Chains A and B, each alone.
Chain A
């Protein structure tokens, strides 16, 4: 960037003086904003509650222990529902995400002028709304229950999967595609032989990753009436049944650990 001459030797520095000053100024402004925000938050905090917090937390913790193991037999069904919401929601999302991704990727879209923007719009609108909010809307539209949760998970996941997938499609090695096209293969054959094998690892990775996320998200969907274990969690919280809450939290933790393990296995197997 900055090359100057000192005593006849050429000196190289990363930034010249103006650049250096700009960096310092940016740090100064950044620190000032941080301190100011800290002050605002501090002023808005009721400190009595804050100093109280450890005692309350210890109190709730004490009431939550030991977990009420006997409550387990009421949790198997909602747990199964939660798993189904996550899995079917992911499958449904993938079925819609694959075509959207092909329409959105610059190198496979039939029309960069008209169709690509539509595909990108689908991706953005699906991604911009949290699945809890989708669930809230869908519970109103199609009524409470598992189906609303499933659709909420699916809609939220389309954008995520399609975005990662279309980025993978854009990064493929074009020469392999060219080679297949040069044999006289048709449009769909070029996709099946030239593109599909190249994006399979990405596809597998994205699917299990999203399934993993969806399992966690589907545990809270019950809070808004969209089925799954969240319903029990909300019920227990509302009735201050802390031993049940702790049992549910342990269960969710276990489910997430298992899902992590499964997705690691799947990714390892396919790549």
Chain B
């Protein structure tokens, strides 16, 4: 279980990116975090694994307080948080296999990892995951040879091989076409279900979020302004999150569920 208490982030420039956010995500729940650009979605996710240092507040993962950890303890806890990025953030010049295995770095000593001597169990798991996402044949290809959708699948494998208890997913579909976006979202949600993983998914595409998740949280200027089921998202709520606009299209599309792209 992941719990945020009064999580606040003030950047050096004085921007209040997060204003005392409280949030609780039970085991196995996939949560979509929506909100306009600059609302603090990325900051919130990054404050959890402390790629961004929160200014105050607490983050608890399965009872462990993360914000006060020293650097080596933080590294140990980071192993339990898989992260998936918007631009995939694969190491472009390494192979798919190396990229997947890099998810095990927290468990393997420096020299073993430097010489690429990962334990056979890790290699087995990497092959299993690549098979699961349909990229087994690509294991030996260099990451920069893959298409966007394939890269994001590798990113998913890298996060899952950590054997995490929570997934932090930052705009997983923003660089993908509508069809691939759906496939990637479906894959993430399925994998979370299989493994009983909690996940926070930052997402621009409201319709896509409604299609796949059980719970939606709306962030606006660093504060939570909506927390509820996808069905509860109506024009009022969207206006509260994003500001005034004609939202009828966005909501309709969810009902019809036949158009490829929404926002």
Q: Tell yes or no: A72 within 8 A of B by CB.
A: no
Q: How many residues of A contact B (CB 8 A)?
A: 21
Q: Contact between B51 and A178 (Cβ–Cβ < 8 Å)?
A: yes
For chain B, the bracket of interface size reads 20 to 34
Interface residues of B in 99-144 (CB under 8 A from A): 102-107, 110, 113-114
Q: Contact between A176 and B89 (Cβ–Cβ < 8 Å)?
A: yes
Binding-face segment, A51-59, A180-188, A247-255: A180-188
Q: Contact between B113 and A176 (Cβ–Cβ < 8 Å)?
A: no
Q: Known contacts A184-B78, A186-B105; is A179 also within 8 Å of B85 by CB?
A: yes
Interface residues of A in 177-215 (CB under 8 A from B): 178-186, 188-189, 192-194, 197-198, 200-201
Q: Contact between A197 and B105 (Cβ–Cβ < 8 Å)?
A: no
Measured between beta carbons, the chain B residues less than 8 angstroms from A180 are 91, 102, 105
Q: Tell yes or no: B76 within 8 A of A by CB.
A: yes
Q: Contact between B85 and A193 (Cβ–Cβ < 8 Å)?
A: no
CA distance A65 to B189 in the complex (A): 81
Q: Contact between B103 and A189 (Cβ–Cβ < 8 Å)?
A: no
Return B205 CB to nearest CB of chain A, in Å. 21
Contact of A183 among B92, B105, B110, B114 (CB under 8 A): B105
Measured between beta carbons, the chain A residues less than 8 angstroms from B235 are none
Q: Is the interface of A mostly helix, strand, loop or mixed?
A: helix
Q: Tell yes or no: A175 within 8 A of B by CB.
A: yes
Measured between beta carbons, the chain B residues less than 8 angstroms from A185 are 75, 102, 105-106, 113
Measured between beta carbons, the chain A residues less than 8 angstroms from B82 are 183
- Smallest Cβ-Cβ distance to A198: which chain B residue: B93
Return B26 CB to nearest CB of chain A, in Å. 23
CA distance A185 to B78 in the complex (A): 8
- Smallest Cβ-Cβ distance to B159: which chain A residue: A183
Measured between beta carbons, the chain A residues less than 8 angstroms from B98 are 193
CA distance A126 to B51 in the complex (A): 37
Measured between beta carbons, the chain A residues less than 8 angstroms from B89 are 175-176, 178-179
- Smallest Cβ-Cβ distance to A187: which chain B residue: B71
Known: A176-B91, A198-B92. 8 other contacts (CB 8 A): A176-B92, A178-B89, A183-B79, A183-B104, A189-B110, A193-B91, A193-B102, A193-B105
Q: A residues within 8 Å of B by Cβ?
A: 173, 175-176, 178-186, 188-189, 192-194, 197-198, 200-201
- List 15 A-B residue pairs with CB atoms under 8 Å apart, sorted by A's residue number: A173-B92, A179-B91, A179-B158, A181-B78, A183-B78, A183-B83, A183-B103, A184-B78, A184-B162, A186-B110, A188-B114, A192-B114, A193-B91, A193-B113, A200-B93
